[in-house]
A and B are shown apart, each in its own frame.
Chain A
């Protein structure tokens, strides 16, 4: 699907990157723990989060993420949006909760960033 499809499915408002909505997306991740995102994400993906502080955008910058989805209708402040604009990030906000947003997107075919489901022997 494309970011435009995500906007439709989530009934989202586009805060930034109106011109990049045709970008294709294949995977997403959902977390409020930035170190967790930094630990398992290694591709240009979508981050769904309830956090709206500057570190969400910084984390996106470090990982070259494509799109940020804020849940529960959250909107970051101007300063944060400006730094997101500098990186050409698409930023959208949806009224849905994190769980519902993930469910809706999964149903439409978006998948999680691949991580092995097997346990290591020391776990």
Chain B
């Protein structure tokens, strides 16, 4: 039997929409809080979802965030329509960034996002195909 889903939400994220960037993560944080998730787990999900959402806005051609809450863990999946990441080990390195000037002027482009996600999630998986897209799955254990 499939595990019970306590909550489920899908957030489309537009490329280069810097104004509303972060609104999905803000909503995710609010909803999780309402479910009674607090403290360290809530903060880790919030940080990772903000980083992954901003990456969709800054680097991708558009995509979505899928949130599912199970009794045992929170699952956040990011999937986009490209352009894909040519060298994943380089992208995962702290300090590596291809962010443009607009993103940098807003305080992004430190090359810390992916390492941040990996550090904050209990499980982190990234798959990317150039010309197809990038998929990131993160899980955060509840208690």
Contact = CB atoms under 8 A, between A and B. Distances in A.
Interface stretch (B72-80, B83-91, B106-114, B126-134): B106-114
B102 to A, nearest CB: 11
Contacts of B21: 55, 58
Interface residues of A, number: 19
Chain B at the A interface: SS class: helix
Contact of A63 (B26, B47, B112): B47
Contacts of B116: 35, 38-39
Contacts of B50: 38, 58-59, 62
A64 interface: yes
B107 to A, nearest CB: 4
A53 interface: yes
Interface residues of B, number: 23
Given A35-B51, A35-B113, A36-B112, A56 B107 contact: yes
A51 B47 CA distance: 19
Contacts of A38: 47, 50-51, 112, 116
Given A58-B50, A62-B46, A34 B108 contact: yes
B25 interface: yes
Interface in B87-121: 106-113, 115-116, 119
A99 B19 CA distance: 29
Contact of B115 (A32, A39, A54, A55): A39
Contact of A55 (B22, B47, B110): B22
B43 A63 contact: yes
Interface of A: 32-36, 38-39, 42, 51, 53-56, 58-59, 61-64
Given A42-B43, A53-B107, A62-B50, 15 more contacts: A33-B112, A34-B106, A35-B110, A35-B112, A39-B110, A39-B112, A54-B22, A55-B54, A61-B46, A62-B25, A62-B26, A62-B47, A63-B46, A63-B47, A64-B43
What 5 A-B pairs come out closest when comparing CB atoms?
A: A35-B112, A58-B22, A34-B107, A62-B46, A35-B110
28 contacts: A33-B107, A33-B108, A34-B107, A34-B108, A34-B110, A35-B107, A35-B108, A35-B112, A35-B113, A36-B112, A38-B47, A39-B112, A39-B119, A42-B43, A53-B106, A55-B22, A55-B54, A55-B107, A58-B22, A59-B50, A59-B107, A61-B26, A61-B29, A62-B25, A62-B47, A63-B43, A63-B46, A63-B47
